[in-house]
Amino acid sequence: MLTLRDLNRATLARQYLLERHRGEPADVVRRVAGLQAQEPRPPYLGVWTRLADFVRDDLHAALHARTIVRATMYRGTLHLVTAADFAAFRPLLRPMLAAAARRFDDVDFPAVVAAADRLLAAGPRTFNELRPLLQKEFPDAYDRALGYAVRMLTPLIMVPTGDRWSYPRESAFAPPGVEPDPAGMETLVERYLAAFGPATVADVQTWSGLGGLKGVVHGMRDRLVTLADERGRELFDLPDAPRPGGDVPAPVRFLPDFDTLVLGHADRTRVLAEEFKGRVATKNLRIKAVYLIDGFAAGTWQIKRTTKQAKLLITPFITTNLDLLEEEGLKLLSWAEPDASSSTLELTDPV
């Protein structure tokens, strides 16, 4: 039987959150099967907290070389993934993405996709540029529905720029220039377990957005190990994946907004206690940045920047000694705001 702490430590080990990885940004992005990237900055910080001696320009260069891409993937949300994973897993997600697009039932999906392909072949476009062009061809359709259908149904990547976090507020999209190379669904499950296991079938489905995976996972019993948690739920895992035990020390770590660890399970309690869930997931679907103490989310954080000063505002869930966060927090500020003349941590009250 695996305790909650056992599950916590097993997942942190796989996420490079017990010990930072020494290597390249692509190693991290591949290991965690992608970092959610609803906004440009969080995936940079997600790599920073997992990678030793991370140099911002290394990820920037990988995005411009298209060895890492930013695209609509799991759960119909934007992720940074390696180009190889985009080619392998984006085709597997098509049924889920197509189902999401069908929320708008007045769209001629094949015709809209064909029109978008033609328009984007002429060059990258933002969706604010693309929607009016589609509206001219489909005047009776809701313009937002046209844009959403293209996001879900057309494999596209966001085009990086010279911006600080590689993307402007409004990014252009373009064909990926990556040939599809679909993997088997079993490969997707294995990669999930390598990043998030041990896990239930429901966990895999929540992370990917795909339903109907019970048969796939159960069909892999001969190559997986079967475990159980304290509630008697059946868990699946890779035989050689790390399970270091709940007594292994876990260092302080700062996770950015929308971090994949917080979103990676149907049951988030291996990282985020049920009583704190409402303080992390907001009504407008934002997932706040959290910090981990002893492996579990102990509060939220944000950076407040003035012309000269960078502050790390700490909002704790539990009694928190600011000294415990100072070393890692100041490292975060130094990396994220290198031109600030001073950096400090400050406790704030919950809103």
pTM metric for this prediction: 0.95
Rounded Cα distance, 223 and 171, in Å = 42
pLDDT, residue 283, reads 82
Condensed to tens digits (0 to 9), the pLDDT of residues 144-191 reads 899 999 999 999 999 999 999 999 999 999 999 999 999 999 999 999
Omega of the bond leading into 242 within 30 degrees of 0 (cis): no
Q: What is the distance of C-alpha 109 from the center of its chain?
A: 28
- Residue 73 identity (one-letter amino acid): M
Residue 206 predicted with pLDDT over 90 = yes
Q: Mean pLDDT over all residues of the chain?
A: 96
Q: What is the DSSP letter of 104?
A: S
Q: Where are the domains of the chain?
A: 94-153, 277-347
Rounded Cα distance, 290 and 262, in Å = 9
Q: Is 299 left (phi over 0), alpha (psi -120 to 50) or beta?
A: left
Condensed to tens digits (0 to 9), the pLDDT of residues 82-138 reads 999 999 999 999 999 999 998 887 788 999 999 999 999 999 999 999 999 999 999
Question: What is the three-class DSSP state of 153?
Answer: helix
Question: What is the three-class DSSP state of 289?
Answer: coil
Condensed to tens digits (0 to 9), the pLDDT of residues 269-325 reads 999 999 999 999 988 889 999 999 999 999 999 999 998 999 999 999 998 889 999
pLDDT, residue 351, reads 57
Rounded Cα distance, 236 and 232, in Å = 13
